[in-house]
Amino acid sequence: MFDVCLLGTGGMMPIPGRWLSSLLIKCNGKMILVDCGEGTQIPLRMAAWGFKAIEAILLTHYHADHIAGLPGLLLTIANSGKVEVLTLIGPPGLKQVVDGLTVISPQLPYELELIELSDINGDSTSLHNININSLPADHSLPCLAYSFELPRNRRFNAGRAKGLNIPIQYWKDLQRGISVTLENKTIRPDMVLGPLRKGIKVCYCTDTRPTEDLEEFISGADLFICEGMYGKNDELEKARQNKHMTFSEAALLAKRGNVNELWLTHYSPSLKDPEVHIEGVRAIFQKTIAGKDLQSKTIKFNDTDTEADFGK
């Protein structure tokens, strides 16, 4: 399962009662942070999920409201006792940006591993069984949208395994996709495993115009967290000029992508009360929520069929 926490929902600058847009994902005791604007340490501390377990920090792009909090956070993570490698992932230019920012956070007790992803084509990497995919966004400088997918094991067919006389001590290996050899006969996992099952998918995107590629990228997501810089439809021209989205555009994107739930984020500082506009947006996509700082959710596999059929 995934635990997700929307640390902040602001764009451009933090304002009283609203931190800058950032997302925290926790899975199997490991955490991934997406974006780190100024002040991100504060909602991180308020969330009380800790700092030491942060394994990676992903950056959508290098505008200050998405990265200026990095030096202080790196020092806070150091003070948490972390000595293991910390991975930083972002579009091209990552090394130059990190080199500049870490001038004021030198001598970290852990190594920084930098992974630059393409801003021309979709790219991918993985971290602790989480598949991370990226897609170039339509913004004023290189920017990436991210998806996080947790695959799900195929269901183990105990009856089929018994019919093949496979001793129970080999069942776990087969469920993990490892072939076993019995009496000079190879037993392949697909001989005892059911069809592929849907895992968990969370998508995050800020600072972009809606695109057809983005519709496909978010397809079927359990949770889509998307920027809603402007709440009013009459601000569409401003959204186009500044390479952002209105609430309605984000909702239409969620509808076309057939996602399960939409959280809006990255509000303009002038947008005082996002809830004022939410009912109209729900006419486009019903499961739309105006994101709030420290809003969290646990996402589990889609049905009760979560365990292997051992012993049945």
User: What stretches of the chain adopt beta strand conformation (E)?
Assistant: 2-8, 22-27, 30-34, 54-58, 86-90, 112-116, 123-127, 130-136, 144-152, 180-182, 185-187, 197-205, 223-227, 262-265, 288-290, 295-299
Choose the catalytic residue: 35, 65, 123, 293: 65
Q: Is 266 annotated as a binding residue?
A: yes
Long-range contacts of 114-117 (CB under 8 A, 24+ apart): 114/87, 114/88, 114/89, 115/87, 115/88, 115/89, 115/90, 116/89, 116/90, 116/91, 116/92, 117/89, 117/90, 117/91, 117/144
Provide the 3-class DSSP secondary structure of residue 51. Answer: coil
Question: Is-catalytic flag, 65?
Answer: yes
- Please tell me the distance from the alpha carbon of residue 68 to that of residue 195, in angstroms, as a whole number: 45
Residue 207 assigned ligand-binding role? yes
Instruction: Check if the beta carbon of residue 231 is closer than 8 Å to that of residue 269.
Output: no
Helix (H) or strand (E) segment spanning residue 242: helix 236-242
Does residue 65 have a known ligand-binding role? yes
Q: Which amino acid is at 281?
A: V
- Is 139 part of any known ligand binding site? yes
Is 63 known to sit in a ligand binding site?
Answer: yes
User: Residues with catalytic annotation?
Assistant: 65
Please give the annotated binding residues for Zn(2+), written as ranges. 61, 63, 65-66, 139, 207, 266
Please give the annotated binding residues, written as ranges: 61, 63, 65-66, 139, 207, 266
